Amino acid sequence: MNVLACIKRVPNTGAKIVLTDDEQRIDTTNLGFTMSPHEECAIEEAVQQTEAHGGSAHVLTLGPEEATEQLRTGLAMQADEATLLEAGDEEWGPRATASAIANGVRELGDDGAEFDLLLFGNESADAANYQVGTRVAAELDLPCVTGIKSLDVEDGTAIARREVSGGEEVYEIALPAVITVKEGINEPRYASMRAKMQARRQDVDRREPTADTGAGTYEKVRLEAPETAESEAEILGDGTDAVANVVDVLESEVEVI
């Protein structure tokens, strides 16, 4: 069984986000990069499923050359192969991104890499439009279920579970299929130093993305870092001396005692 995990490079923001002067991007001068925890879980799931059922685990991203860093994180987590759809500086909306990924998957298929399972994050860490996986599924005419927190594959069928209030919905889907996952589906491994070194030497397959555009337009105008009210907490005291004041807040203000 071959499994694909799609991931997105995003800045690793700290406690406060700073924008560039043109308000178009996050100022990343002093920031590292990462991916959504949901996507780390997608990679781990791809690796675990291929460890259990054979086949190969593949990671893919649409992004700049620098996004090979995130692909190598995937390789260090024991994915077998990596593909970069190398984009220029232009902004890709969710629909164009999905179209490029679907075309990339078709190309990989033509080159002999057919996938039984395509994994995505439920939503990306930054833009979070909740739709790339679903749109890729529609383009490739594959069944799709989102927000999955438990997955088993038996005889070509995926048994997927989604948390709902008070329990779990259970889906049974014939493969090939698209599944978007949430953090908690597994515990992503920490890559060893050795695995990271090896990943650095592995080849990344690079391709030119192609995307079709649909009807309508969605344009980002600018970003805004909302003013966080510069409020300072009322300090109730240091150490155990503060306990009486805490009890007071719990009793008279919040009324939970």
Partner 1 sequence: MTLAFVEREGSDPTEETLEMLTLARELADGDGESLDVVAFAGGSRLSVDELGAYGVDEVYHVVHDRLDGYAPEAWGESVAQLASDVDPSAVVAPGTDRGHEVLAHVGATLDVPMAANCIGIDVVEDGAYELRRNRWGGSLIEHARLEAGTTLLTPAEHEFPIEKAESTTDPSESEFTPSLEDTQFRVQVERVERADEEGIPLGEARVVIGGGRGVGGPDAYDQLEELADLLGGTVGASRAAVNEGWRPHDDQIGQTGAKISPDIYIPCGISGAVQHMVGCKGAETILAINTDPEAAIIQKADYAVIGDLHEIVPELNDTIREA
Under the rule (CB under 6 A), what is the footprint of ligand FAD?
A: 6-8, 12, 25, 34, 36-39, 61-64, 87, 89-94, 97, 101, 120-121, 123-133
Q: Which residue has the tokens 């178009």?
A: 24
Give 14 or 156: the residue with its C-beta nearer to ligand FAD: 14
Which of 66, 47, 95 lies closest to 8 in space, CA to CA?
Answer: 66
18 binds, among ligand FAD, partner 1, none (CB under 5 to 8 A by kind): none
List, as own/partner pairs, every contact residues 26-33 make where C-beta atoms lie below 8 angstroms and the sequence separation is at least 24, other chains included.
Answer: 26/223, 33/9, 33/66, 33/69, 33/70
User: Residue 172: beta bridge partners?
Assistant: 159
Three-state SS at 94? helix
Q: Which does 103 bind (CB under 5 to 8 A by kind): ligand FAD, partner 1, none?
A: none
Provide the pairing of β-strand 150-154 with 117-121: unpaired
Contacted entry of partner 1, ligand FAD, none for residue 214, CB cut-off 5 to 8 Å set by kind: partner 1
User: Which residue, 113 or 138, has its beta carbon nearer to partner 1?
Assistant: 138
Give whichever of 197 and 247 is closer to partner 1, judged by the CB atom: 247
Question: By C-alpha distance, which of 112, 60, 97 is closest to 81?
Answer: 60
Q: Residue 138 or residue 198: which is nearer to ligand FAD going by CB? A: 138
The interface partner of residue 6, options being ligand FAD, partner 1, none and the CB cut-off 5 to 8 Å by kind, is ligand FAD
CA atoms of 247 and 257, how far apart (whole Å): 8
At what angle are helices 37-53 and 68-76 packed, to 10 degrees? Answer: 40
Minimal CB distance residue for ligand FAD = 121
**Minimal distance in Å, beta carbon 80 to partner 1?**
25
**Closer by beta carbon to partner 1, 82 or else 151:** 151
Question: Which residue, 101 or 173, has its beta carbon nearer to partner 1?
Answer: 173
Of 66 and 156, CB closest to ligand FAD: 66
DSSP 106-172: HHHHHTT---SEEEEESS-SSS--S-HHHHHHHHHT--EEEEESEEEEETTEEEEEEEETTEEEEEE
CB of 209 to ligand FAD, least distance (A): 8
Q: Which does 169 bind (CB under 5 to 8 A by kind): partner 1, ligand FAD, none?
A: partner 1
CB of 248 to partner 1, least distance (A): 10
* Shortest Å distance, C-beta 67 to ligand FAD: 8
| Residue 115 interacting partner from ligand FAD, partner 1, none (CB closer than 5 to 8 Å by kind) | none
31 binding partner (options ligand FAD, partner 1, none; Cβ < 5 to 8 Å by kind): none
86, HSE (Cβ side, Cα atoms, 13 Å) = 10
